[in-house]
Amino acid sequence: MTIHKEGYKSILITAIIFAVINLLSFYFISFSLPWLSWLIFLITLGLLLFIISFFRVPNRQLTKGDQLIVCPADGKVVVIEEIIDEEYFKDKRLQVSIFMSPANVHQNRNPVGGEVVYSQYHKGKYLVAWNPKSSTENERHSVVIRYPKGEILVKQIAGALAKRIVNYLTVGQKVEQSAEMGFIKFGSRVDVLLPVDTKVNVQLNETVKGGVTVLATL
């Protein structure tokens, strides 16, 4: 396991806060109220460990295959439905949405390999990520990857806690399947828009792993 580069600053700040709070606690509280000093230590240590865990990047055997669409994120499948895409395709698409809790790995990966033909950031609201309106009203970054059999759109969507979406892809870039696409901080969701006749391999409420679980078969 490694730590994602997006976490270096957050972890450093949290570590400094942890050190300062506990130094003050030891100096002013530990002799008169040792139990309170220990409680403060355990709470702040838990926060530090959570922040480190949030930015973890586990070692995985990544899934690749020309006939496969791979899950772009860790989390739980919360939506599988037909929608009308107003942003890019302007027609019916099959939407599969994955909700990421703060406990999930938040690195996002390319579901297919191909060429990036669209990349657009949208300002928006911070509705809870499982709200259906979050797909179109929340802050988000949309990317379309063209692969040999067509195009798919992937949306990184901010949630009530997610305040920063990072996307590393640019138009014209050639990308590999399951390689890193971006990162979202502190709870969010990723939507994948597929052709309506795509065979989906996941079910509602299924727990999936980014870069590993097969989302659909071409």
Question: What six digits make up the tokens of 33?
Answer: 């109220």
Selected catalytic residue, list 97, 135, 178, 188: 188
Q: Which two tokens stand for residue 8?
A: 């270096």
Tell me, rounded to whole angstroms, the distance of Cα 13 from its chain centroid: 22
Q: Two tokens at 77? A: 């499948």
Of the candidates 18, 20, 39, 42, which has an alpha carbon nearest to the alpha carbon of residue 30? Answer: 39
| CA–CA–CA angle 100, 104, 184 (5° rounding) | 60
Q: Reply yes or no on whether 37 is catalytic.
A: no
Task: Look up residue 7 and give its DSSP letter.
Answer: G
* Distance in angstroms (rounded) separating the CA atoms of residues 130 and 13: 30
> How far is CA 209 from each of CA 105, 114, 180, 212, rounded to the nearest angstrom?
9, 21, 13, 5
Q: Which residue type occupies 210?
A: G
**How buried is 30 (Cβ within 10 angstroms: 0-12 exposed, 13-18 middle, 19+ buried)?**
middle
Catalytic residue list: 188
